[in-house]
Amino acid sequence: MPADSRQTIAPADVAIVVFARAPRPGRCKTRLAAAVGARRAARIYHALLSRAVAAASETAADHVYLACAPDTRDARLHALAHRHGATRLRQPDGDLGERMHAAARHVLRRHAAVVLLGSDQPILDDGWFSDAVATLQRPGRAWLAPTCDGGYWALGLRHAEARPFRGPAWSTSRVAAQTEQRLRRCGWAVDRYPQRRDIDHGRDWQRLSGPTKHLLARRAVRPRAEEFSRRRSNPRRCQRAPGERC
């Protein structure tokens, strides 16, 4: 049943898709790497991603998906999904809009609404998901969480319409504004969450408060030890999406 044929949807009907890249030095966070080095940037990214998936699993429980690039086989993405009970999806080829649309289309076959979540946010313990659900419970609405540089870090939808993902000039300061225009052209009202800053550059990392930076720095050095311990205690257990091999 299409989501907009119902007056409201329950929070349990809202899934979260976290977009992730394999945290490999030189292949992720290249702008941040220019300031802190490729290896440290990859560790910081892994910590941000871990925090995003943990926050998603705490709010959406059994309805969390990890959209993986370049594929689902990276050991760290596999371990992260396993730890939080997330289902791995491979990001298809194409630009960011095409990949986001594919994920939304896949998940909205199974759930009434979806929040597409980036992995560059250092703070996700506020009421962002409750705010998204409050918007998505009302028919004909979308939810947009913009960033200070003109992009957005999350998008909530009830329908996998392609138009919002076609045309925005990705990686520019007009992405959020152009996406909002396209959402409204689809006939949807758009609720905007207060903008916040992604961690994209060295200056973004430096602006973080000491406690937040310390927490992320601790997470950045823990995954290898945690994975070694998990493999020793439970070497055969594996969670995968249908059709995937461990």
The domains located in the chain, with CATH, are: 11-233 (3.90.550.10)
pLDDT (mean) for 32-39: 95
pLDDT value of position 230: 42
Highest mean pLDDT among 1-5, 81-85, 211-215: 81-85
Instruction: Report how far residue 167's alpha carbon sits from residue 171's, in angstroms, rounded to the nearest whole number.
Output: 12
- Rg (C-alpha) for the chain, rounded Å, is 18
Q: Is residue 244 predicted with pLDDT exceeding 90?
A: no
Q: What is the mean pLDDT of the chain?
A: 86
pLDDT value of position 176: 96
Q: Is residue 206 predicted with pLDDT exceeding 50?
A: yes
pLDDT (mean) for 145-151: 96
Non-local (6+) Cβ contacts of 175 within 8 A are 150, 151, 152, 168, 169
| HSE toward the beta carbon, residue 52, CA cutoff 13 A | 28
Q: Would you tell me how many other CB atoms lie within 10 Å of the CB of residue 173?
A: 12
The 3-state DSSP class for residue 64 equals strand
- What confidence category does residue 61 fall into, taking pLDDT thresholds of 50, 70 and 90? low
The 3-state DSSP class for residue 23 equals coil
pLDDT value of position 229: 40
